[in-house]
Amino acid sequence: MQTTRLPSATGPALHDAGHYWDAIRVPRSVGLSAMAILGARCGAVVQDRSVLYLFVRVGTAAEWDVENTRALGAGASITIPPPRRAEGPGPYWRMCPGDGGWLTDPDVLRAAIADAFGPRLGEEQGETA
């Protein structure tokens, strides 16, 4: 199942990962770059202070190994904002869940995050020692 019920309009609610989705936590700057790279392929995104949470299929957290990110699966919780909260303070929707659901393809997300971080020092193509 790809969706979960949104909390009421009265306030944010804590939801457990690992039931309907896992989430990938990334620094805000990297997450915004990844969202731009993903475009229409990006699922729902929650921003909470200086981090973004992108939602992926259940089970992704167990195999996620991308540096400077954190995978949240069973045993983790995320504060989900009310359906129409599009700005802070507190957690808010950077990208609301759409008709296609909450989820971003984890392989596509992995590639977008790698592109967002850019090449590491010494890994540029054609660099000579």
Confidence of residue 125 (pLDDT cuts 50, 70, 90): low
Backbone torsion region of residue 102, taken as left when φ is above 0, otherwise alpha when ψ lies between -120 and 50, otherwise beta: alpha
Confidence of residue 5 (pLDDT cuts 50, 70, 90): low
Confidence of residue 41 (pLDDT cuts 50, 70, 90): very high
Confidence of residue 6 (pLDDT cuts 50, 70, 90): low
Q: Domain limits of the chain?
A: 13-117
**Which pTM does this prediction carry?**
0.85
Residue ranges of alpha helices (H) inside 9-105 are 28-38, 60-63
Q: Which residues of 29-64 are buried (b: 16+ CB within 10 A; e: fewer)?
A: ebbbbbbebbeeebbbbbbbeebbbbbbbbebbeeb
For 55-103, write each residue's pLDDT tens digit: 999 999 999 999 999 999 999 999 999 888 999 889 999 998 877 778 9
Per cent of the chain over pLDDT 90 is 68
pLDDT for the residue numbered 81: 93
Checking if the pLDDT of 11 tops 80, the result is no
